[in-house]
Amino acid sequence: MRAYYLTGTICHFINELIIKTMNDQPLQKKVITVLEAVAKTTTNGSVQYKIKDQDNKTYTVWASKSDGSESKAYSELKCIPNNGIGRNLEIAYKEEAYDFKGKSLTSRTIMFLKEVGGASKANTMIKSQMSFEKKEQDDDKWDKISWGKCKHAYLVEYLKAMLDGKGPNSADECEKLAEFWADMSMRNLGEMEKLQYIQDNKYAQPAVEGFEVKEDEINVADIPF
């Protein structure tokens, strides 16, 4: 518990030191695309948002200032849907390099921000990905429904045959056969596999009106699918 308290105190001290040092740093301005925005609470209860941009750089937005009042950056951020993820933001920030446990790190604190240009290309990509994933889920759902209907139809026929003494000897065998044929019904053969099957079995194309095709005249490569 004491170690945890000391760690929290040290982190708080470093944050305060960075903030004080930043007061002497000039503001830098740029437009970023927000890819990630995560809210975190420090050990002393301060709330901050860690924002990652398209270049994988991280920025901090503090919810409140040192006097406890709401920060200007957060007052804008909270009004942007989804904490700005997938949107373009024009930011004014201060950057400070510091050493921590022998590592050189850079802290970037956003002082002001505003949304520009509405939803960005990244937002469109995120929505597109969500739409694609939903389509995949829907396709998978309907595939399962279709497979279930196939299995049910085959199972009914096998059970009828069993009761008539003309089919499988048990309900378990009926179910296995029904699933086998349901799998076959849902299977999508490759084009080459279908062509090879037709070639091996010498299946002819249907005769076209006014022109009868003989079996030995068929060119397998010309069979349309």
Whether 158 shows a pLDDT value over 70: the answer reads: yes
The residue that leads in pLDDT, 107 or 147, is: 107
- Beta strand 28-41 pairing with 87-100: antiparallel
| pLDDT exceeds cutoff 90 at 152 | no
The CATH fold of domain 2-119: OB fold (Dihydrolipoamide Acetyltransferase, E2P) (2.40.50)
Q: Mean pLDDT throughout 78-103?
A: 89
The full set of domain ranges for the chain reads: 2-119, 124-196
Is the pTM higher than 0.75? The answer reads no
Phi, psi of 167 (to 5 degrees): -130, -150
Annotate 65-89 with b (16+ C-beta within 10 A) or e (fewer): eeeeeebebbebbeebeebbbbbbb
Please tell me the distance from the alpha carbon of residue 91 to that of residue 13, in angstroms, as a whole number.
26
* CA dihedral sign of residues 127, 40, 83, 115: negative
